[in-house]
């Protein structure tokens, strides 16, 4: 097969499949398109087991990667040294450190250098026989590299527990939710569909899920609830077109009308939602399996969605709690600042009154000194007497002032001090 040029993402995925510490499976939905592209080129295979596939390299894939890495590898020079000495140093340091090398929070360049040494050690077969390399902290945190005995373990997925569907079941023994479910299927398929729902109800209850019938008006057949998340399940029966001879009036007339007939192929689907993009939502009868075989995968998907929604709610709650705490802190700081301004205003008022009273008394003394002769005008004496009384009234010192009473504070009073926060609720304006 002629070699085809791969993009950087495809090369990275192929490296992970050939040399990665954990295998890539159908659980890695974000890599599925890339894996399929590599499979179409004959570079990987996706053998299935337990209803899931795992990516494995072909000999062509290994050769393609070796050729590409050799082509892309820089020539040894002062500016681009070979990674082989670094790989050899890595193996030596691991052997001297009893198989574990811990690098505390390396810089991005250091982390990339260690990863190149790891790749070179594997690609150049420098790992001691009977051992394999593993590492954690590929992109962040501490980088821990270990040299372990034995072959490289492949990630194994525990097999799904089977969901047994009875071959026959009297109507009176059906689960109540299955017995009353709305199932848009032909009469011939109704018993089988209800047995499937019956088995699904019991399997869900074993997992402590809650099963119920949807509200009236809903097209769903069953509702499965996990915590605060509810997942409606809908039945559908396939159909196919056949000629409709009932529209022909004469035996010689060409039949052009078409009609549909039920295919007896059942399908269960989860409600489509943009909250779970790229996730599988339909399970049904196919040539290689029946719907009954896919019930464990359906329950696994419901569990995954419930866990995802729980994590989202927790993250949203943490964000809301953090925002509320910031708002409460801003409100408290605003109240403190407003009270400070209130006291400063009172202090400035008192200082101004004291300065004014002091100036009035000094003025009256100056008047008295200027007219300190017998027979001073009565009008002047009356004026200075009144002025001194006024100074006594406004002078705060004899009144022994203390902290002023706090003002009545309204949300609008706090707005100038909140720096963009709403005075009514924990959000920014």
- Does residue 429 fall inside a structural domain? no
**d(C-alpha 261, C-alpha 253), whole Å:** 22
- Is 177 in the same domain as 260? yes
319: which 2 tokens? 């964000």
64: CATH:
1.10.10.10
Is residue 402 a part of any domain in this protein? yes
426 found inside a domain? no
Residue 159 lies in a domain: no
- Whether 278 shows a pLDDT value over 90: the answer reads no
Which DSSP helix (H) or strand (E) runs through 258? strand 258-270
Q: What pLDDT score does 1 carry?
A: 42
Residue 423's SS3 state is coil
**Is the pLDDT at 73 greater than 70, yes or no?**
no
The predicted pLDDT at position 376 comes to: 63
Distance CA 80, CA 103 (A): 23
Contact 198, 171 (CB under 8 A): no
Mean pLDDT score, 158-168? 78
Q: Where are the alpha helices (DSSP H) in 168-294?
A: 176-179, 190-206
Same domain, 267 and 303: yes
Residues 251, 300 share a domain: yes
Which residues are within 8 A (CB) of 187 and not within 5 positions of it... i.e. 6 or more apart? none
* Whether 339 and 301 share a structural domain: no
Would residue 425 count as lying in a domain?
A: no
Under the banding of pLDDT at 50, 70 and 90, the label for residue 411 is very high
Q: Is 427 exposed, middle or buried (0-12, 13-18, 19+ CB in 10 A)?
A: exposed
Domain boundary among 310, 333, 354: 310
> Is 422 among the domain residues?
no
pLDDT at 153: 64
Tell me if 217 sits within 8 A of 232, measured CB to CB: no
- pLDDT of amino acid 341: 95
Which residues on neighbouring strands pair with residue 237, listed in sequence order? Answer: 266
Look up the domain containing 372 and give its range. Answer: 324-417
pLDDT tens string 335-391: 999 999 999 999 999 999 999 999 999 999 998 888 766 666 788 889 999 999 999
Same domain, 295 and 177: yes
**Residue entry with tokens 């109507």:** 171
Share of the chain above pLDDT 90, in %: 41
Residue-level pLDDT at 79: 38
Q: Are 126 and 184 in the same domain? A: no
| Predicted local distance difference test score (pLDDT) of residue 381 | 86
The dihedrals phi and psi of 35, each to the nearest 5 degrees, come to -60, -45
282-326 pLDDT, tens per residue? Answer: 999 988 889 999 999 999 999 999 999 999 999 999 999 999 999
201 and 299 fall within a common domain: yes
Residues 292 and 349 in one domain: no
pLDDT at 206 over 50: yes
Least confident range from 51-65, 107-121, 243-257, 336-350: namely 243-257
255 band by pLDDT with thresholds 50, 70 and 90: low
Which of 73, 97, 122 is at the close of a domain?
73
Type and span of the H or E element at 184: none
Choose one of 73, 98, 116: the last residue of a domain.
Answer: 73
Q: What does the DSSP 8-state code read for residue 371?
A: T
| Together in a domain, 201 and 294 | yes
Average pLDDT in the 251-264 region?
Answer: 77
214: which 2 tokens? 């949807």
Q: How much is the pLDDT for 82? A: 55
Q: How far is CA 44 from CA 17, 117, 152, in A?
A: 8, 25, 18
Examine the domain organization and report whether 67 and 176 are in the same domain: no
Mean pLDDT score of the chain: 85
Tell whether 182 and 298 lie within a shared domain. yes
Residue 165 lies in a domain: no
Q: Looking at the domain assignment, is residue 162 inside a domain? A: no
Cβ-contact 247, 268 below 8 angstroms: no
**420 backbone φψ class: left, alpha, beta (φ>0; ψ -120 to 50):** left
Going by pLDDT thresholds of 50, 70 and 90, the confidence category of residue 75 is very low
From 124-138, 239-253, 307-321, the region with the lowest mean pLDDT = 239-253
Give the pLDDT confidence score for residue 319 in this predicted structure. 93
Q: Same domain, yes or no, for 305 and 179?
A: yes
Cβ(358)–Cβ(394) below 8 Å: no
Secondary structure class of 231 (helix, strand, coil)? strand
Torsion of CA 113, 117, 120, 122, to 10 degrees: -130
pLDDT beyond 80 at 110? yes
Return the pLDDT at 262: 86
**Which of residues 149 and 83 earns the better pLDDT score?**
149
- Count of structural domains, the chain: 4
């Amino acid at each position: 097969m002629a070699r085809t040029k791969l993009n950087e993402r495809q090369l990275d995925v192929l490296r992970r499949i050939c040399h990665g510490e954990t295998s890539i499976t159908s659980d890695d939905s974000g890599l599925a398109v890339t894996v399929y592209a590599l499979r179409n080129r004959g570079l990987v295979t996706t053998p299935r087991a337990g209803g899931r596939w795992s990516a494995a390299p072909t000999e062509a894939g290994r050769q393609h990667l070796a050729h590409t890495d050799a082509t892309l590898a820089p020539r040894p020079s002062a500016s681009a040294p070979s990674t082989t000495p670094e790989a050899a140093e890595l193996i030596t340091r691991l052997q001297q450190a009893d198989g574990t090398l811990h690098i505390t929070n390396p810089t991005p360049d250091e982390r990339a250098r260690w990863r190149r040494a790891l790749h070179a050690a594997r690609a150049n077969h420098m790992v001691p026989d009977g051992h394999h390399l593993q590492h954690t902290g590929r992109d962040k945190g501490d980088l821990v590299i270990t040299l372990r005995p034995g072959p490289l373990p492949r990630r194994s997925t525990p097999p799904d527990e089977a969901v047994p569907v009875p071959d026959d079941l009297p109507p009176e023994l059906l689960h109540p939710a299955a017995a009353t479910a709305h199932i848009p299927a032909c009469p011939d398929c109704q018993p089988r569909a209800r047995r499937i729902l019956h088995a699904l109800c019991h399997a869900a209850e074993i997992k402590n899920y809650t099963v119920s019938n949807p509200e009236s008006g809903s097209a769903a057949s069953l509702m499965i609830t996990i915590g605060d998340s509810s997942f409606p399940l809908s039945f559908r029966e396939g159909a196919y077109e056949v000629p409709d001879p009932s529209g022909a009036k004469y035996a010689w007339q060409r039949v052009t009308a078409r009609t549909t007939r039920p295919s007896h192929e059942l399908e269960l689907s989860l409600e489509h939602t943009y909250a779970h993009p790229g996730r599988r939502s339909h399970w049904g009868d196919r040539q290689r399996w029946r719907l009954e075989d896919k019930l464990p995968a359906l329950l696994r998907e419901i569990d995954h969605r419930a866990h995802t929604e729980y994590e989202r709610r927790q993250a949203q709650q943490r964000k809301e709690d953090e925002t509320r705490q910031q708002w409460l802190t801003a409100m408290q700081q605003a109240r403190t600042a407003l009270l400070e301004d209130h006291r400063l205003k009172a202090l400035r008022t008192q200082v101004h009154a004291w300065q004014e009273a002091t100036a009035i008394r000094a003025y009256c003394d100056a008047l008295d000194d200027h007219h300190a002769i017998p027979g001073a005008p009565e009008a002047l004496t009356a004026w200075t007497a009144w002025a001194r009384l006024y100074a006594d009234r406004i002078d705060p010192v004899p009144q022994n002032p203390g902290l002023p009473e706090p003002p009545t504070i309204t949300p609008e009073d706090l707005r100038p001090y909140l720096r963009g926060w709403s005075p009514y609720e924990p959000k920014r304006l």
